[in-house]
Structure 1
Amino acid sequence: MIKLLRLFYESAGNLLLFTQNVQEISLHHLQNDSIHPDDDMVLVFKVDKQELFIPRLNKRNILTTFTEASKKAMREERSKTKQTFICRTNIRITNSCGLADVVDGGKDGDTFESEWLISWSLGVGKSFRMYIEGGSDGALPLTAVALPISEKGNLHIYDASLGFYRESHLFVFLPIPVKVPFSVHINGCFAVSADRKRLLSYTSDDKTDSRQVTWNSVLISDSLLNSYLQFLAYVRNNCLHDVSGFYYLWPKDCGPENTWKPLLKEFYKHVVEEEDLKMFFGFRNKESVWLTFDECTFLDESFSNDSKICSLAYTVLKCLSKEHNICPTELPQTIRKAFVEAGLSSDINRKTISIEAFYEIFLKNIANIELDLHDKERLVIHALRQENKNIMQHLMTNACITSKPKGNFHLPSEMVLPNSPWKSLFDTEDERFPSDAFCREDILKALQNLGMKTSEIPWDLIRLQARKNENINTKCTECARERAEIILKYIHENRRSDQACPKDVADDISDIEFIPAMTKSAEWKWKWKADECLTESKVCCAHELSWKSMKLNKPKNMYISNLALQVGCSDILTPEYFHEYQEDLFELGVKGEEQVGIKTLREQLLHVTESHLCSENVSESLELRILEAVFKSFESRCHDDEAISFLNEFLDKPVIKIGKRFVSPCSVVFSLKHDCSPFLYGLDNSPFLQYKNTLEAMGVRKQFDFQTLKFVLKQLKDRDEPLDESEIGLACRVALLLEDVELDDLDFLYLPDSEGILRPTTELCIDDCSWVPQSDTMKFLHGTIPPNIAKITKIRSKRNHDITEETSEFGIDFGQHENLTNRLKRILDGYPDVCIMKELLQNADDAGATELHFIKDFRELGKESVFSEEWKDLQGPALCVYNDSVFSERDLEGIQNLGIGSNREDLTTIGKYGVGFNAVYHLTDVPSFLSKDKSNPERDTLCVLDPHCRYIPCATKRKPGRRFKDPSKTKQKYPDVFSGYLEDSGVWCENSGTMFRFPLRQACSDISPSIDIERFNVLIEQFKHEMAHSMMFLHNVRRIIISSIDKDGELHKEHFADSKISGESGNAIYNTTLETRMKLKEHKVSMSDIQRLGNEIHHYFNNQWR
């Protein structure tokens, strides 16, 4: 109940705001035990309404009046006749008792009165036609706007008293919970939703009655427009206390809501088009008046960025309104924006005086405008900051810049820059310096662009001022210095113009003593020539605190100031603060770097380096700067053969400073990766690096050669005892330099071992395999030397050392050395990958094997105990091929001779490990085989073929492979390698035979593309179908088996083929073939004479073959 009472109390005034008959609402309280209700009711709260001013209503309510007016208009067909009323209503809210505790801020007995201005209007356009056509469902095209009027004359909705909305709302005679985006309440016969909570409008689901939506739209753009215009007209004439408040009441931005945009567009269209609609407050002939749109002159929008400037510009237009027949009118930005949103940009623009036009009339009349001088200056400064070409032209051609001290107006070109280098040639009373208002940096810059300058001083006067300086120096050396600087500035400013100093004047000034000499700095510890020429000097009172002894000199007898580091010990220099006038001083005869002799530079350099040895007080930074300067001068002369020859004399002289010491060029290179002092030095990050030609002429090299590095290491070696920690570090750093030089002779190259003793590199190895046992002869390279240095100095790995030291354990040179990967790739072009198994079959047959076993081993084998890190890539899927023959020395020789083979003279063994064997490179990059002879273990061997010289240590391009003569010992050290030869799988026959291993190529190489398991299986399947046919012409092989190894190492046979020769022993076919070949060669046999042999293959067929 309390909540309901509060809501009622807080909005009670809204209920009566637009009612026509109800004038009072009261709330009474009756006790529960009341016996006489009529007498016991107590008034708690009351709202009543009193119409203060309603013209022409004759005590009738507005609805009745407008209804009759509508009917009359319909009969007389005068729909264009406007029917509007303005009324003022007083609504009083009385809190008799009981609600003080319910309502915040209220107390018993309070009475709140609120006066409202309400503007009513009947539609005369589309809304009226829709009404008479029955499209409004009987609703009148009637609207109203309302606003409270406070005692202070404020016209703001938020000034409404308790009981009223303080934000603009929509009413349909009673309040609707809908806010409107304007400054007034809006009332009308609108079509609303059934729950009276929203104004009907088009929605996304489009279920709203379009006729009712149309009614709302025409009512807003017609009747509501008239109500609003009438309301503003009444306010303008009767209630206005503040023009800004009037513009506040205008309809403006309605946000994203489209419902009210028709009102906004029609309102501003009427303001522009109605000839008698005076809605703007402006000035005509300096008097304030209300104006129509076409009478107005608005300021350019850019003025709105600065309220003060905008106000001043408006004042200027008021002052000039009569002379220029304009009516200046202030237009708030919100109103300007509303015009733009209503599509009236062009109308606003045609009534706006542009910023260029404003400044044109302002600057022409600046002297006569009744405005404070400071305000005029402020407007001119604003103009200067516009960077507008047209405005700049007006500024340039009108006397508008005030001067010191009287504030007279001058053209910019008549003014002098206040901080001009020759300002001391003028007095303030000359009215040539701008007033303080124009002395900001940006304004002065703008004035310079407009022609601000100093007066043009005749060169004869400049010459005279230079001569006067000699006399000035006798009175005040500081004044003389200032005068000299002013003269140089003037010469400098005019040097590149048509007013440049004539040569005859420059020659005369060159022989005048008016330039002070550079004084020696506190850091300078060497001889200073200018100290020999000092004379007693005087100063004026103004310069007493800045007194310095100073001698004036002739320009032709001086060097430029930036040469102090090159010639300071022997000649006089111009002051450093004259450095910006360097070119001007040169024109006056001052000598530059080109006039410095090379002998002078030599003396300066030697003096500095010698002083370094005998003085501890020398400034290192200044010393370094002197050195750089001298080197720079040397650099500019390096094109001269005489200078280069002169620089060669410095080869063994300590003239290059590195750190805190001077070193000879012969011990220096341009860049040194590591600190190798005190033997070797680098110029990394040295300031001398920029003088490359000079350094090269002195003997500095790009890098130390191998012999120099060997010599330094040899010097350390001569001690023949372990080095201390710092010496080891030095030796290691010198060793690191070896990676950048050409190693032409490794003999007598010494590097430190793990005990810090320098040893020949041939005696050292790298401790890179913990599982390879260390022998007594192994001397490990010092751990601080990285592997890349070990590699280029050909220091062997521990495994390689093991190979070299224990030849029987690790093998002898072996491998295919006829050619490398490119030849293999070319050979493979003649051997399709499908021929791989056939070539291996033929090789086995030629070797005398009776059985050939193909084993698919797709396991990942151990990768720890292998020959090299690269070998780990070979421990994956592979094809293993076993035959029961043993390699002979001739076979080993043949397999090394790529494309030749051991079968070159025996055509009956057309594939015995010759060129055909290379078909395996379709599968692998590293074929290998283990051959074992049970009857003669000394013939056991393990061979690895590595055309890339990548996988097996010690493989070379000459012999790209290795042969191990005692595989049993090798197996003990490298068991993971030998697990790939399946010695424990049951494949080997009585521990004899040969097992080939072909690791499948995992990635494309220089020899052939990669091959995956899927492709390999396809090749196997193809061979299965050709196995039987392949055995028809074999000499020895009688069985072919295809098996696979599972992950547990178990062997599984998948396919096999057997062959049996009838009527002959196993060697019959071989002997018959050999005999027939010899007879054919001698032409002693015909085909009909050849013996017939029977060959039974797996019982699939039995044929006679010639």
Structure 2
Amino acid sequence: MDAETVAALAALEVPVLDGTLSNGSAVRYVSRDHSDVTFILQSLPKNKSFSHLDQATRMILFVFFTQQLSNYLQPGSRRSIRVALNKESRDVLRNLPIFPIFDPGSRDDDNITLDVAPVGACFVNDSVKVIPNIRGTLFLSYDYGRVLHLALEEREILGEIDVLRKAISPDAWSQQDRVTGLLPSLIDRLMNRLNEVGDVTRARISELAIVEVGVHARRKSPNQVVDPASTLAELYDAEDEVLPVGVFAREGPGSYIHQLRSYRMLRATLTPPSIEERITRISDQTRPMKNRSDKALRLLSLLDSCTRSEGDWLPFEVIGGLCDLAWLPIVNRFHTPSECWDSRGKDLLLCDMVLPRVPFTVSSQQLRDYLGWSQVPFDVLQSQLLKVLEIELRPSKASETDVLDRIEAVLKNVAKSFQTGLLSQEHIRSLAETLGDAAWVPTRSCGRCVARQGMLEQINLGMKYHCVAPHLLRFPGMEALLKHMGICDRPSQASLLSTLREISNDLSESGVDRPTRSGLVHASILILDEFGRSTEGQESEFQRILIPTERCKLAPAREVLFNDMGGDPTAPPPGLQFAHPLVSASLANTLGLRRMSEEDFAEGGDGIQSFHIGEDLTVRIRRVLQDYDIDHSSNEWVANAEDAEAKSVTFLVDEASFQGRRVIGGLTGFQSGPALVVHNEKVFTDEDFTGLGNIGQGGKAGRADSIGRFGLGALSFYHFSEVINFPWRL
């Protein structure tokens, strides 16, 4: 044993004999051989610290014990059995500062420290490139300390994967940045061995703050870092500190970012926390943000994509932010969802004049539900109708067709909601009251009218009433809606009377042009036809109606005379006006108008006995016609002329036919002509007319000298006609 080794052992307080004494036989007999390592370990003081030994002494001891243990533990030339150290010897061995320990950092075999190896110290192989810094855990070189590892009977030799797992443990990871340059080296090894670790280890790595992000190159865990190649990255800037920078921003096969992306360790989709954070950030106008509007639209697009499946849902707190914060962009202004609408085509006509529109169409029904965009609210529909009807507020480019399209779209939406129970009768009543006298009803003529002028049935009542557009009525639930909004199948009696008064006022105004006047008169006649058609009208109501006159005015029915005599009458009786020529005889009869023929007969009938065709008279006429042949009729007429002391009798046949002849009693169904005229130059006396009132007796019934005392002259006319006209004094 050389002097340095002896000195080193002496420093360990191993009993070593002086060289001058060790050669004696007796000494050699009772002393141990210098290679008896078990004796040395048993001779060392237990639990004594040798920290005072310098590295040179430690190296001498390392070489000594390594050689001796190697010889002791390996089989010898005599095939001696290997003897293991007992536990007490192993504990003493651990306490010797002879173990090759790596300093934390990149592995350097030339920079190994010799020290004790307490329980928990780990032997590592040459695959380990970086030594982590873990409090209470030492990493020993297996290459240098193989014999010591064997002596301690350690079973475990750690490779790099095992060491990295220890380094990323929750307690150990926070210590890695305490050694200069250690953290980047460990991160590099983690990235290079990422494909060799298991899922549990990769999940742990995704939670470690290893990625440099943002302008300040702060480190965040991969699961907090946004993949710069994803659409999600469009929501962020460098100031947001979620986009990788430095070595993590480099793309390409084998790059850090490529490795993380391959195992989906980066954020590439929205999460509830990120949604909440982005909405809050976008809505905060006090903090600057680049391309805020573009980011808001991108967020809306991503939300639309990630909520299309039924299982995709958002927490209530996130939904609250979606609905309450002003984050939706419209022309450099930001709105809450309740203040705007998206660009869905079928909703365009329902709210475009009330709500500004976000330049994006949401397809996800779930997102529409979150934003309150599933159904245009009733108050918005109501406001849309009012805006459409306010001409002065309509854009100049809005045509009447645009207005009708919007009105019909709103009505269809309301009809559907009313039919399905989403809207109540109270809603519909409120809508009708709000619209009031506005012209909101689409008509068959592609126009609009007020509700009181609308009709569900397709009838023509002129310019004052309008049929609802037929295509609109075909929409399910529309007819029920319109009825609840005050539109009837046909106008009521009260409405008809009110409209006649309105027409009367219109015609009384000055400056009414001829087409308008004609239209009003025509409308009044159609209204009167409808009035007469109704079975509700009583005779008292007919007296209240107004009738168009020949002067194109409307007058009370009691003041209107219907000209049923044809021709061109000179003037109506005082206090009366002739009905307009468009008033038909059937309408006049229905309305009970006074007739001109009746007025004429009444004026000329003073002193004439009234008569009528009764049973006695008709029987008398039938018997006379049976007893006296038609061939003898002319004899009767000559006899009448003789009785009248006429000098001649003239017979005329008029073969012409006419219409509108003046006949009594409204017998306008008879056609006038051809006619037989029997004439003499005498005129009827009062007695003659008395005789006409007693046909069958004659006006000369009391005169024995009169040929016509039996009245056959008058009766013989019934051989030729049922309508006989007796011209009297002109």
Q: Structure 1 length as normaliser, TM-score?
A: 0.27
Over alpha carbons, which structure has the higher Rg? 2
